[in-house]
Amino acid sequence: MKKTHFLVSMLVLTIFNACQNNDENDNDNPRKSESHTKTVNVTTHDGRPFSTGSGSVAGKFVSGPGGGVLMQGFYWDVPEGGTWWNVVKDKLTAWSDSGIGAVWLPPASKAQNGAYSMGYDPTDYYDFGNFNQNGSTETRFGSRTELEALITKAHAENMQVYADIVINHNSGGQSQANPFTGTNTWTDFSAIASGKFPRSYNDFYKNSYGNNDEGAFGGFPDLCHANPYVQDWLWGRDDSVGKYYKNVMKFDGWRFDYVKGFGPWVVNSWNSNVGGFSVGELWDSNVNTLEWWANNANSSVFDFAAYYKMDEAFDNGNLNVLNDDMMWKRNPYKAVTFVANHDTDIIKNKMPAYAYILTHEGYPTIFYRDYEEWLNKERLNNLIWIHNNKATGTTSILYTDNDEYIARRNGYNGNPGLVVYINNSTSWQERWVETNWSSQQMKDFTGHSSWYPTTQGDKWVKIQCPPNSYSIWSLNQ
């Protein structure tokens, strides 16, 4: 959630991959990636691989040996006016062709600020832009019909769609007398237009179930997940929020907002009852905390530990910190890696960071503005192709110092893997490294180096990397 912008908005309104994880359903895991599928690729004049879909056939995404990539399909304050669903829909074929296998959408239901809201102040979970309430019929992003067309198009491209779920707090209720606070609170949601999941003061803290849970946010009414009525409406009943999103709206998975605000058992219960891919926004750089939450929630988690280490490595010239612990090293099947998102964008030297997450374990995320506006799309597509086709197997770090980092993906099930070389210095660098291949020719699949070295009989080879850049090596095949 966007804390700074959102609190300003609230003030106005309140005056205003690989292989299957044991505890994840195979159909819900976008990293079920170690099986071979048909790939269609060509090579440019300078050796860069490009694909008609990174494993796609007839324009549809098909997972390659390394899996797929997640696109965050929005940024903070996307244009108002109900156009965003159509903007995203029109990009889906190109994203699929580039090897992107899933798109994460912003909160899709009607929020207190109506047509101006980014959705993180939810009022009516079942109003997707089809009821006239909170000052508008459409949401900021468009109508329900347009949202359904987007999801249908994504599925036609063999892409998954993940919903941003905000269940810590609500906003936009009417005032009512609250016996637990002795005051009036904005907790009367009995008149919501959909008629589904009406709420009152006992559905929010403090109430008959206690004074608080793990955390409230921004002064909003804090939803009480301990209340069986709330549980039933969120994930229990056949028309619960989760089951409606999945079975009627056809969402495939969930990005849970501000999971610090409630216990991991909430996401665990949702996942057990609803299913689908799941990732939580636990904004914490402590890898022990991330792992604890992921295990107890039975969910993936954004790898904030890796995020802050990448900032230190690529912006502050200390690549040695990439030896430190991160969530993807603890459990790559529950780690969603990222370089930027709608809330935080601190990494300035982004291309090496994308080279890092797209060659390492975990489920990598591309930020919309990085891909569509700010960075070199051709280079990002090249990295996505490398991820989907070459980034397989476990990871071995081969060399680090302040300026250089070299790691090897060890391959899986006949796929050879790769060696990634990141160089933060201002000059070309060369290193001898040990590969998994004896007497075989390699090439740099980024095209940054024109070398075609052959590994020695003992599997060692010399590779190179340009200044302030990266190279990615694998067998020339």
Three-state DSSP at 24 gives coil
Q: Is 218 left (phi over 0), alpha (psi -120 to 50) or beta?
A: left
Residue 22 reports pLDDT greater than 90 = no
Q: Supply the pLDDT for residue 58.
A: 53
Q: DSSP of 372-412, one letter per residue? A: IIIS-HHHHHHHHHHHHHH--S-EEEEEE-SSEEEEEE--B
How far is residue 62's CA from residue 40's CA, in Å, rounded to a whole number?
Answer: 10
Find the mean pLDDT for residues 240-264: 98
Q: Supply the pLDDT for residue 30.
A: 57
Choose among 150, 34, 30, 146: nearest CA to 99.
30
Q: Supply the pLDDT for residue 15.
A: 32
How far is residue 454's CA from residue 435's CA, in Å, rounded to a whole number?
Answer: 11
pTM greater than 0.85: yes
24 is catalytic: no
List, for residues 162-175, the tens digit of each pLDDT value.
Answer: 999 999 999 999 99
The answer to whether the CB of 366 falls within 8 A of the CB of 357 is: no
The answer to whether the CB of 262 falls within 8 A of the CB of 222 is: no
Q: Which helix (H) or strand (E) holds 463?
A: strand 460-465
257 is catalytic: yes
User: Which residues sit opposite 176 in a β-bridge?
Assistant: 185
Residue 57 reports pLDDT greater than 70 = no
Residue 21 reports pLDDT greater than 70 = no
Q: Supply the pLDDT for residue 28.
A: 52
Q: DSSP of 356-370, one letter per residue? A: HHTTSSSEEEEEHHI
How far is residue 395's CA from residue 400's CA, in Å, rounded to a whole number?
Answer: 14
List, for residues 64-117, the tens digit of each pLDDT value.
Answer: 999 999 999 999 999 999 999 999 999 999 999 999 999 999 999 999 999 999
Q: Supply the pLDDT for residue 404.
A: 98
Q: Which helix (H) or strand (E) holds 288?
A: helix 287-297
Find the mean pLDDT for residues 35-64: 44
Q: Supply the pLDDT for residue 163.
A: 98
Residue 270 reports pLDDT greater than 50 = yes
Is 212 known as a binding-site position? no
List, for residues 62-75, the tens digit of each pLDDT value.
Answer: 999 999 999 999 99
Cβ count within 10 A of residue 257: 21
How far is residue 53's CA from residue 235's CA, in Å, rounded to a whole number?
Answer: 36
Instruction: Evaluate the omega torsion of the peptide bond into residue 206 and state whether it is cis, within 30 degrees of 0.
Output: yes
Cβ count within 10 A of residue 239: 12
Q: DSSP of 44-84, one letter per residue? A: -TTS-EEESSSS-BTTB---BTTB-EEEE---TT--SSS-H
Among 281, 284, 291, 403, the active-site one is 281
Cβ count within 10 A of residue 407: 20
* Sequence letter at residue 325: D
List, for residues 388-445, the tens digit of each pLDDT value.
Answer: 999 999 999 999 999 999 999 999 999 999 999 999 999 999 999 999 999 999 999 9
Is 444 known as a binding-site position? no
The answer to whether the CB of 419 falls within 8 A of the CB of 474 is: yes
**Percent of the chain residues topping a pLDDT of 90:** 88
List, for residues 114-148, the tens digit of each pLDDT value.
Answer: 999 999 999 999 999 999 999 999 999 999 999 99
Backbone angles phi, psi at 43, to 5 degrees: -125, 135
Find where tokens 């995020």 sit: 307
The answer to whether the CB of 327 falls within 8 A of the CB of 362 is: yes
Instruction: Name the residue with higher pLDDT: 21 or 142.
Output: 142
Backbone angles phi, psi at 187, to 5 degrees: -125, 10
The average confidence (pLDDT) of the chain is 90
Is 168 known as a binding-site position? yes
Among 257, 284, 311, 361, the active-site one is 257
Q: Is 291 left (phi over 0), alpha (psi -120 to 50) or beta?
A: alpha
Q: Supply the pLDDT for residue 34.
A: 34
Q: 475 to each of 227, 420, 441, 455, 472, how far by Cα in Å? A: 57, 13, 6, 10, 10
List, for residues 431-448, the tens digit of each pLDDT value.
Answer: 999 999 999 999 999 999
Buried b (16+ CB within 10 A) or exposed e, 361-374: bbbbbbbbbbbbee
Domains of the chain: 3-391 (3.20.20.80), 393-477 (2.60.40.1180)
How far is residue 396's CA from residue 410's CA, in Å, rounded to a whole number?
Answer: 7
Token reading at 401: 């110092």
Under the banding of pLDDT at 50, 70 and 90, the label for residue 14 is very low
